[in-house]
Structure 1
Amino acid sequence: MGKQLKRSSRKAVIVPFIQNGEYFFKKGMKAYDRGDLEKARKYFERAVRLDERDAAFALQLALVLSELGEYQFSNQWLLKIIHDLDETMYDCLYFLANNFACLGLFREARQYAERYLTHEPDGEFADDAADLLELLRLDGPEWTEEQEDLMALEERARRLLEEERFAEAIEALEAIVARYPDVWAAHNNLALAYFYSGDIEKAKQKVREVLKRDPGNLHALCNALVFAHYLRDEEQVAALCETLAGLYPFFREHQYKLGATFALVGRFDLAFRWMHRLYKQGFDGDGPFYYWLACAAYYTGHEPLARQMWEMLTTLHPEKRGEEPWAATSAMDEGLIRMMALFEGGELADWLYGLYLFSRSAQAEETSMSLALCRLLPADPRLRPFIDYVLFGLTDGPSAWAGNIVRMVDVLSVNNEEKEALCRFAFAMAAHPSAYGESFANGAAWAAAIEYIWRQQQGEKVTQKEMAAKYGVSAATVGKYVQKVRRLWS
């Protein structure tokens, strides 16, 4: 007989292929070294998505964006680094100065160049910053007669808008944008005038037009968020809030606009970040500023500051006394009391069932109640997908998984009188660590199997055939899902 091949005694080694932020950062650097800026940008964007706290990843993305001429987006990342990631990365100040100079914003360019030299007088870019300052020594040109005319037209249109004379405001703003098509403020005010006059489609079209011609225009994005909020487009609201939450505007006017917009749509957590920052910087606010800061402070747990801001508001507007956010107390019905008792418990199933009850209550329509409830819940990562889905309407990623579980519990709830015990059992099972690989997409099948197991545990005689008839699925399907539940619950 010929020789037989011997089975190798070496075991196969499986090497995991992990694509983390570092992996994409290195890919981005290779593309950057080759001069392929677009590909480098895509790799760096993936790196910062995977590791959003790494300042080096964010800086490299900002530099590529600057080389691509996208100076505003580059500035947003540079400001994020300074404000949130590493305030000691002073090189960002020099890169900001360069970007602002390229945008023609010479005063801001000077400020950042000077700040860089203050922190790094002997730094790597000290000579470059000094050269840039030398180029920026002269003040900007005086206002031309045409610019003064434009300012007068814009002021008249703004006044008409504030006085709610929308037809006249639209006429004035349409004349401005026809004569000065690149004046974005007029376009954005025209979108508001259209919206408040009831011409929703024209308003939305105007916002789309601005964002197409000037991507990232802050006022247009804020207007889009306000429109989506009033039109109850919760999916669009969530998407725009996520986009705007990542912006770091330099100008105080833009910071105010962002904070006030977040407050108007009920995202007081995001509103407080900007309004309180402006207040600490000595911003000389008006009535609306103190109003929104008071609301944002109150609904994020800063009640002393909220009361202080309300006092400043009533100094300017005495008629606001009695309209404090804490003056509007809601009646505590039995359902709300039951919810609060569940939130005080220490079990995950209690918290999830309390969230579920809240989502089906009248209080769920009040954004302030959702934010207050969010503050009551513990910082448990297992809760995050359910909080995002129930309280903030997010429907992607882990929130989609949480949504499937909530809909499955809905099926159980409408088909049973023993709602609380059965629904709490369902939440405890579905949120168990061993269940994280399950999508819970087939809500009826999961509900039938869960009720079958639960009733067996109660000592009741129940058949899978009965559960199949009750939930409109086949007996074979119930049997399949019963095995799933048993595996998860073992």
Structure 2
Amino acid sequence: MKGKLVRTEDHLANIIPIHLDASFFFERAVRSLDRNHVDKALKYFRKAVEYEPENPVNHCNMAGILSEKGDYEASNSILAHVLDVIDPSMTECYFYMANNFANMDQFEEAERALVTYLEEDSQGQFMTEAEEMMELLYYELDRPAKLNRIKSRKGVVEHDQARELLEEGKFAQAAELLEGMSPDYPDYFAARNNLALAYYYMGLFTKAKETIAEVLEQEPGNLHALCNLAIFYQNENQTDQVLMLIKKLRVIVPYQNEQVYKLATTMGILGQHDAAYTHFRRLLKNEETAGDPALAHYAAVAAYNTERYDMAKRLWHYVNKLDPGSEVASYYLDDLEEVLQGLQEPSKLSYHYHLPFDEQFRQWEDYGNGIPDEMKNDPLIRSSFFWALRHGDHATKLQVIHALGMIGDYEVRQALQSFINEPGEDPDLVNAAQHVLSDLQIAKGYEQEASVSHLFSGGDIDSIRNKDQALNRGNLSRMEAPHWQVVVDRALQMSEARAELQQEMERIWIDYVSRVHPELSGSKQIEGWAAGLEYLASKNHSRPVTYQSVAERYGISASTVSKYARQLLEICSTTPPKGYS
């Protein structure tokens, strides 16, 4: 048989060489996935990892295939390797791990991984999916997640906490939280506007205006900043500046409900009741806000102040329908009836959803024992007290000062001290405030002397603090001992520390609580304070410890441990220990 002879070199020249590298196996893996050949895809991804072991994407792809196959433990092992060894910045791995844990019904671990993802990931690629998983975990665990912040949302969680504090009249605590946010989120204007309000309510008007000026320098048309500045100027009787801002505000027609509400209340406070009425009526036509009794009351006030008495009557009846247990609408309806019958002259009403102060004081006197506890803790009443202390007339301020003396907590004492230090107040009002504050401090001193000695059980307190020094710092009695105790108990339980470290933790915590009113509204604060306490005490005693090692035992993130440790260090009378970071 005769045939053409093919030379070896010619044959080789017609063959296209295969370059085996990570890209080759990656493409084969993707092609296999398209054909639903999962096992082949896994094999090819493994080969890609062999060729590029430092490439975290190949590892994550392999983990994804294992998760598809139901091998969740193996998937999480690979993801943990990526975070621990290859690339700790691959924060999306925490989200993948949370999915795997959830599929294994390990919901505590899923929550821990998901919270870490939300607190550490700056991009928020899986925010929608994370929110859905958070709802699932809430259902499974029957409690909210222990979440301190959402990094990709630039301080939204912290800001929401600060807004709640403002609404509760805890202005000093809100300011502390917002001040901590400012360096990290310089462009978060909502937070800076609320910081200005916190300063304003505390009587720190210069700082309030400086903060607003910083916002307007970056965003001259910021509505909230313009509204706040107008109110600040009105407080200082700077008529020209107020009129200039009113002219600017009257032509603004915002569309977001929150901005409409802000503009409406601001115009009402500035005495522009016709504009306030227009904006409040707009909100009442909106389905999202139409059922708010406070909003309906504000609209009724604006109607009354513009002599739209029939509309005011209809609106207050609507308030009674929305909030039948409230006395507010009925009181103002009676007042309106007397005006209509000519029994009294109409006067401008304030935009607060509560009874006038005179009526509140009269009712409290009827109790015989001062202000009822449920009213002392009512955020609306508390905030209105602080507002009236700054903006009420002479008689109202005097009544408020005496009423605050019946409450006498930390925020009240700070408000009174700020009022005393404010230049230009009437001397008799300052004397009244000084008298009330002095009585409160004496009473708190006696309570504190008794409470410090038994604050912590089982510890030699005298060996770790000087009682007279603690008494001078004051304020230890603003929380009950059992409420304090839980933080140290948790730290002692988790750390299993020796006696000297236990005493150090107790010393730091007493020092901190004696100076600041810490919030312990849920388990996440308790865990955070306890972890931060252990970290700082360990550093003070030169014990080897890291944020991560403490965080793992408490089931929180390293950033949370750092946050609470730094708060303790900033307040307590100690210098940063060696090795503190």
Please tell me the TM-score bracket, short chain as reference. 0.3 to 0.5
Max radius of gyration: which structure? 2
- TM-score normalised to the size of structure 2? 0.32
- TM-score normalised to the size of structure 1? 0.37
